[in-house]
């Protein structure tokens, strides 16, 4: 069921004292273009330079290959109730994202909306952005002061998109909503092929833009956490202010016994002793219309 505005929820729930960040939304410079806001959803535990680089890659691609103009970029850290291994509490994850945004000195904004409440499916998160930007703010301005509706689009790595073909992780109606109504820019990620990621999503091909990584870089939060637990340096993999924050707060020193025994696979992902035999848990609650927490697909 959708709301009158075509959203997948009837009403949005805001965390206490929540204000939508919009101070870095930009004016549309070229009135012939369609304004677009990019939203990257994820754990960001911790945020790395690769998360920040995704936006640079997407902006270059968009400028050279499309009729869009980027007027806003957001990180949307997931709720603690996503319960993924290594998911530090939202307070620290949001703080680190804010430090990274300050450090970058650019237009990146951090939206804590999903972080500080019950788990919200990605389809609802995109609806929230659409509602805040197009309904509450009335869109963005052109240089002539005219108001324009903004197109909200998802920005994701190819590993995330490949899960869209895994049975049980995303509902068909959510995919229809995310890929049909909004659309996605996909950043190539080592170990997760682009074609393989989108083979089953052909129906929405017109709204799926694939961006190759011209400089291969497979930094992941998992690797960073593993380095930290082993007492290895993570400087220059993430902004200095985030490294300092991790040190000052003693973060990622100890995780569960399973995680402590982790080793790096060739894809740079953590393999836990128990996970090789554990069945892949789907995400039943995330697919329901309730606000219960899902079971993370990587658990």
Ligand X SMILES: Nc1ncnc2c1ncn2[C@@H]1O[C@H](COP(=O)(O)OP(=O)(O)OP(=O)(O)O)[C@@H](O)[C@H]1O
Residues within the interface to ligand X (CB under 6 A)? 40, 42-45, 50-51, 54, 86, 156-157, 159-160, 187, 189, 217-222
What x/- string results for residues 113 through 142 when contact with ligand NMN is judged by CB under 6 A? Answer: --------xxx-------------------
Sign of dihedral through CA atoms 101, 149, 113, 6? negative
Q: Which residues pair with residue 94 across a beta bridge?
A: none
| Smaller CB separation from ligand X, 47 or 140 | 47
Which one-letter DSSP state was computed for residue 136? I
DSSP string computed for 169-236: TS-HHHHIIIIIII-EEEE-BTTB-HHHHHGGGGGGGGGEEEE--SS-----HHHHHHHHHTT---BT
224 belongs to the binding site for ligand NMN (CB under 6 A): no
Partner in contact with 73, chosen from ligand X, ligand NMN, none, beta carbon below 5 to 8 Å by kind: none
| Smaller CB separation from ligand NMN, 28 or 54 | 54
Partner in contact with 296, chosen from ligand X, ligand NMN, none, beta carbon below 5 to 8 Å by kind: ligand NMN
How far apart are CB 252 and ligand X at their closest, in Å?
Answer: 11
How far apart are CB 284 and ligand NMN at their closest, in Å?
Answer: 10
CA 134 vs. chain centroid, Å, equals 20
174 belongs to the binding site for ligand NMN (CB under 6 A): yes
CA 43 vs. chain centroid, Å, equals 7
**Which tokens is 198 given?**
């989108």
Rg of the chain's alpha carbons, rounded to an integer? 19
Q: What interhelical angle do 240-248 and 90-104 show, nearest 10?
A: 150
Partner in contact with 35, chosen from ligand X, ligand NMN, none, beta carbon below 5 to 8 Å by kind: none
Which positions lie near ligand NMN, rule CB under 6 A?
41-43, 78, 82, 84, 121-123, 160, 163, 169-170, 174, 283, 286, 296-298
């Amino acid at each position: 069921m959708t709301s009158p505005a075509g959203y997948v929820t009837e009403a949005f729930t805001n965390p206490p004292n929540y204000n939508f960040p919009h101070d870095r939304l930009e004016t549309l410079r070229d009135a012939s273009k369609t304004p677009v806001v990019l939203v990257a959803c994820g754990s960001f535990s911790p945020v790395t330079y690769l998360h920040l680089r995704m936006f640079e890659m997407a902006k270059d691609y968009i400028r050279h290959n499309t009729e869009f103009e980027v007027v806003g970029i957001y990180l949307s850290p997931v709720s603690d109730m996503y319960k993924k291994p290594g998911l530090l509490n939202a307070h620290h994850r949001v703080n680190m994202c804010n430090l990274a945004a300050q450090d970058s000195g650019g237009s990146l904004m951090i939206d804590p909306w999903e972080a500080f409440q019950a788990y919200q499916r990605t389809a609802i998160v995109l609806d929230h952005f659409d509602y805040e930007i197009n309904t509450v703010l009335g869109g963005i301005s052109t240089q002539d002061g005219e108001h324009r509706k903004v197109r909200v689009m998802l920005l994701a790595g190819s590993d995330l998109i490949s899960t869209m073909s895994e049975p049980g992780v995303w509902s068909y109606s959510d995919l229809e909503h995310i890929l049909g109504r909004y659309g996605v820019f996909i950043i190539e990620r080592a170990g997760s092929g682009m074609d393989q990621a989108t083979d089953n999503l052909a129906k929405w091909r017109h709204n799926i833009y694939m961006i190759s990584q011209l400089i291969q870089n497979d930094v992941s939060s998992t690797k960073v956490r593993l380095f930290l637990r082993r007492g290895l340096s993570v400087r220059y993999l993430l902004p200095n202010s985030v490294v300092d924050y991790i040190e000052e707060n003693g973060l990622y020193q100890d995780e569960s016994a399973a995680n402590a025994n982790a080793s790096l696979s060739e894809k740079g992902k953590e393999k836990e002793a128990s996970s090789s035999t554990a069945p892949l848990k789907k995400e039943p609650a995330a697919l329901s219309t309730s606000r219960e927490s899902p079971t993370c697909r990587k658990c």
